[in-house]
Structure 1
Amino acid sequence: MASNTFERFDLESSQEWKPYIARFRQYMISQKCDQTLYTAHLITAVSNRVYKLMCTLCHPNKPENTEFEALVEIVANHFGPKGSVVAARYEFRKREQRLDENITGFIHQLQLLAQRCEFDDKLEENLRDQLAAGVASDAIRQSLFMEKNLNFTRAKEIALNMEAAANTCKIGKENTIDNKAKINTSSTKSARRSSSRCWRCGRIHDEEPDDCPYLQFKCNICTEKGHLAKMCPQSASKLTPYNTRKREGYVKKRYHTRFSNYFGSDSDSGSEQSEVQVIVRKKNKKRQLRYVKK
């Protein structure tokens, strides 16, 4: 026999009627109470104010003479009248999967909305239809449309499997893009290295200047190690440009330098200066030297 120790329901409490009744039923079952006594136990479990409310709602009958299920429904209609089923189904029908929502979350929200729709034995059929209609992926929708004898369980399985496969492919593509970016970066660096002329030897090679094969060679001009004579800074400083002009793809540079008896016996003994005109062809990088005696 059940002991009357179940939590009291009062109008001033923050409890809701439906959750309270659900717990009350489980308590009655645990106490192995006869269902014919449910009404009596419920009346003794509520406060005096709630009992007076029951009397008003059941008039002209009395609460103790009312069947348990009927009494529960009468009080439930008073505390929380049912919303419009049409409105609830409208909210259910317009629900679609959001961009930041996965399939599992979308199905869960559909199940919550369906609780107020009174689908009864058509619940899974409506869940299946709305899953196919509201899913964000067109590929998943097409697969559901093509499936014969599709039920809600099978629809969930197809949607979840296709979502997992799509996520796997997305990760693979991202990794491929990252690898291509790394390869392109490496190729760009190699191209930059190969297109730059080494300041030690004047050649184009993949090695950095510090790894140049002529790193230990001694310059014939300054006798310092680390570069060839043609790349020696001192040899370049002997020539001082004083005029530069461009004409038809050529750059003409004139330099002054001193030559002592450069032309031998043919030179004027009173003059030790000569003009050296250097014409640099930019296109084929050939140099022409024209010596003019002054």
Structure 2
Amino acid sequence: MCSSSANGMFGGNLTFDHRIQEWGIFKSRFNQFCLANDINEDTDKAGLKRRALLLTSLVEETYRVVRDLASPTSLEDQEYTALLTLLEKHFVPKKSSFAERYNFYKAEQRAGEELAEWAARVRSLAQHCGFGAELQTALRDRFVLGLENVKEKEKLFSESISSLTFDRALELAASVRCARLALGGARQEPAPQLYALRPGAQRAAAAAAAGASHSDSARCEVCGYKSHSKDQCRFVNLTCKNCHKRGHLKRMCKLRVKSNNFMETVDGDIVEDLTN
């Protein structure tokens, strides 16, 4: 809900300081402020109210700059649209499309930067590049090529370039990341707690742990890892992408045999089994 000021205006008090604020963002907020308070070309035909609101939102230093820009015409005599144009020309620096494209093409995902944040940064960097009809292709290419994680990049490299969109690339990369994080959690095994036992009990516990470790050498029939048994596997309810039966992943499918009837080496990436 919008807050209401003492004089009944919604949206609070707007201020603009050109030294620390971006004109484009302030202008957008100012337009929304006028919209919320029903101030437009119909209710303010001469623009007097909008001009007054705009000028009173300027901090002293910015007001002084604008006054000098309008000289010798007084700010009180400037039309609202002319005043907007004056501020636009001065506070919005001219962009070089080549310079903007240079920054766009060299951008890469930062360490620790979330996929959604990286996608948003790619969109922001493309704003003044002048890509036109090629915008979506440029966004997709920069997002994919600038990815930090190799597994996410490999997955997108395997997709058809003719059908992969920017939004789909973000979706697939996110699915690979979720699968990778889930698998990383499944691989973590707690260390045995021996410090509370007596020396004799510690030796017995250590022997039991060694036996358990030896029994774990057999691969899980569902996913192929050695850290657990079949009934403990978190993937037991997933459907195999090879034979389409439930209870094992593609990497452990018994139909994947070579001509000599031996099972293939289980070295596939489990991410392939968990993503489309």
TM-score, normalised with respect to structure 1: 0.47
Q: Identify the structure with the greater strand proportion.
A: 1
TM-score, normalised with respect to structure 2: 0.49
Structure whose alpha-carbon radius of gyration is higher = 1
Bigger relative contact order, structure 1 or 2, given CA contacts below 8 A and separation 6+?
2
